[in-house]
Amino acid sequence: MRIEKDQLIGGLLARDVRRFMRQAACFIIGPRTVTNVFGFSEGDACQLLRKFQKEGLVTVKGDHWEATAKGHALAIATAASPLRRATAERLIAEVVERARIINADSEFAYCVQRLVVFGSFVNGSQRPNDIDVACTLVARFDGEKQRALEDERRGEQGMV
């Protein structure tokens, strides 16, 4: 999902509603939630939640609201401009090159077995919103050497 610069949802800028959904989507939503994010009065907050309900962003659950699938989608929506095809191709080439570097370095506990590009880029879009890449990793070694590398990496991450 992509939101436009001046797009409105419930009378508010979509990017502000997206910010609200990012903060509230995984919680029980009530008028106080709206008041804390937007500074609205409780009455205005209830009215806004009803607008969000009509937009399909939230649904009533007893005495509160919860985010719908559409509300969660808005929370992760992008406001960035679509990529140019040439930029997308360059970014994919960079991912492939990083995979080659990882596979050539025995310091890493895993190798990249497979990279798969899918989504709008593969479907030929000249201006994809994003690049969808799946990656399959496999253990580089067997047994104790693999466990030692994994333990070493976990220890380094704990020190950061």
Q: Which residue has the higher pLDDT, 68 or 25?
A: 68
CA distances to 60, 67, 137 from 50, rounded to whole Å, are: 9, 12, 46
Quick one: average pLDDT of 118-134? 92
CA neighbor of 135 nearest in space, from 107, 108, 98, 106: 98
Q: 159: pLDDT confidence band, cut at 50, 70 and 90?
A: low
